[in-house]
Amino acid sequence: MEINFEGKTALVTGASQGIGRDIVKQLVKCRANVIAVARNEDLLLSLKKELPSIKTITIDLSDWQLTEKTLSNVGPIDLLVNNAGLAILGPLTEVQEEDVDKLFAINVKALINVTKIVVQNLVCRNVPGAIVNISSQASLAGLNNHAVYCATKGAVDAFTRAAALEYGPKKIRVNAVNPTVIMTDMGKLGWSDPAVAEPMLQKIPLRRFGEVHEVVDAVTYLLSDKASMITGSCLPIDGGYLAT
């Protein structure tokens, strides 16, 4: 299946590492003009060296007003991947107020703000667009020591459906993907211990964790015209975890 985004501009948040970094690379391969957004300037610079054609923006998306000011001036955007995310895990009884604020600030509030900016741009230009939010299986299943994180991802799914309903008539599609554990560098660090990994693997019918390209491929498809009749969906990329 050939996907070509030539002439379109894509904005990717959380673009400096992990899944976001590979999404940027894939979109460049598909001939999109890419704006890579992240907090880590050094990692963005290294990405720029790999992909000289991209534009990079270093910003803390939890700053609502700065995000509005910065992203409202980047020009027309056709495609958006809300990948920026944060995980602070632990028992509910040990959750601190600042943990809740940080998680919701990035996982929910920033996502809403960036989506609003892009949708305003699309509506003003009267052009179609596609948005993909990176959610999690944690939005649809309770995970131990993930209470607040689960709450933020549940909010992402609810927002995805509502935004899809509101802007479908404007030909703006909004979807989410809901991965299980993905073998990014961070994922490998956290899940390489068999004692930690095995209980989760036993709940996944395919008996393995996901690879980064499996998320990237799904995101690319949902952004493309190949998915022109898909909006408001939350697509598990979980090896069947949510089916059990």
Catalytic residues: 149, 153
The enclosing H or E element of 79 equals: strand 79-82
Spell 71-82 as b/e; 16+ CB within 10 A means b: beebeebbbbbb
Q: Which residues pair with 237 in a beta bridge?
A: 179
Half-sphere exposure of 145 (CA within 13 A, CB side): 6
Half-sphere exposure of 116 (CA within 13 A, CB side): 11
Among 97, 109, 13, residue whose Cα is nearest residue 65: 109
Among 29, 156, 180, 139, residue whose Cα is nearest residue 83: 156
CA distance 189 to 84: 19
